Structure 1
Amino acid sequence: MADAPVRTAREHYHHGSLREAMIAAAEEVLAERGLGGFTLRECARRAGVSPAAPAHHFGNLTGLLTAIATLGFDDLATAMEAAVAAAQAERRSRLAAIARAYVETALANPGRFRVVFGQREMDRQDPAFRAAATRAFSILVREVRLSRGLAPPSSQQEKPAPEVLAPDLPEVLLAWSAVHGFATLLIDGALDFLAANGSRETLLEAHAARLFALLASALSAGEGLAKTAARD
């Protein structure tokens, strides 16, 4: 594969934002080469700057990946909150709405999504990263609890402590695993054989409503099973 043409610094960040230019260049590399072909040097080359220039904003490759993952969590949280508002106004299932928003966000920017949940090193103690990740996770926990007829957590400013989350953990894991797994299968093309025209968006459109309704129903049923088990 021929290298993409180098854009000059003026072309890439004429508004003076090297940080934004580097993130844009990084996402081009991710879209074309994936995480396996992702290097800071290539990102800098595409941004039209020297390999040393990005150190001012990101420090190293870990810093750049952390910034992209933070944007990814922000994307997910923003999309899920918008879905909740729309579902509430239309009296639809909020949990099904955030599930679909999660998958649609992943499909819209698969490179960014892979960074969020990839195995490459990132700074998980970075304050912006932690805040974005906590926001997204807290929305999931809140909507799982509400789908079971339970009150939402008292605070969403911090990730629920393990002992607080423990009673809800099976349901949270079920919801997250089902939605994340579906998104990953779509992105990886593993379900392309099920789409008559090969369109992942068409496959999502055809089956998302029932799939996520089944998920919401399973969580509601699980609450009854849990109460029965507690009585026994």
Structure 2
Amino acid sequence: MTETEWLTNADSNQFEDFLRGTVSYRKLRLFAVACFRPFSHLCTDVRSQNALRTSEEYADGMVELYALISAHLYATDVLDNVPAPASDTYHYAVDAAYFAVQLARPSLLFRDGEVDIDPIDVFRLTDGISYLSGHAKNNFGIDATFDKAVLQKGIAIEKERQCRLLRDIFCNPFRPVAIEPEWSTSTVVSLAEGIYAEKAFDRLPILADALQDAGCDNENILSHCRGEGPHVRGC
């Protein structure tokens, strides 16, 4: 893959081979969660919602493996009886419950003694999520008139969104950034930690100003913080 392809590809599946073995499992898991989050409202059971939250927390080292396994098992129980939402979206509630299970599923891959998600699983999940998005363009209605062109357009839009998320989380591997120690002032660290913990990514331009005050002159970092995003955990 070239840098131009990295910056312009609109199909997240095209990144799979390039990323395999070169990026952290943490970021892969956070990427998968970020892709599904716009559809998390379709999870009508708290166990499914907890699975999504626990997967993200496990990626960031906030919970141990047993918590992830527990969340996965509880979310799996939901599949036997998915609560129907108030609107005509039951079929998609089932899909959402399934995705919640998969997002909290520990993999059998081991790395440095830790169990984590399989990169192949990530891109299978995001591919499935793109189809969920495509069907959303058909108004989520079970009895709605199916339009293949609308489905395909919805899939393409979702895949392009996933690519933007992917570039936010993994940055540009062709232009690696080195963080100078002197930039990590108490103000910068406090702002960064607060933004991440609270998912307050709208405050990133403030972080960019603080970094600049600390002597950061790396335009890639500053423009990323001041850019429109999207910005998600793992950014």
TM over 0.5: no
Q: TM-score, normalised by structure 1?
A: 0.27
Query: Whose Rg is larger?
Result: 1
Q: Which has the higher contact order (CA 8 A, sep 6+)?
A: 2
Q: TM-score, normalised by structure 2?
A: 0.26
Normalized per residue, the structure richer in helix is: 1
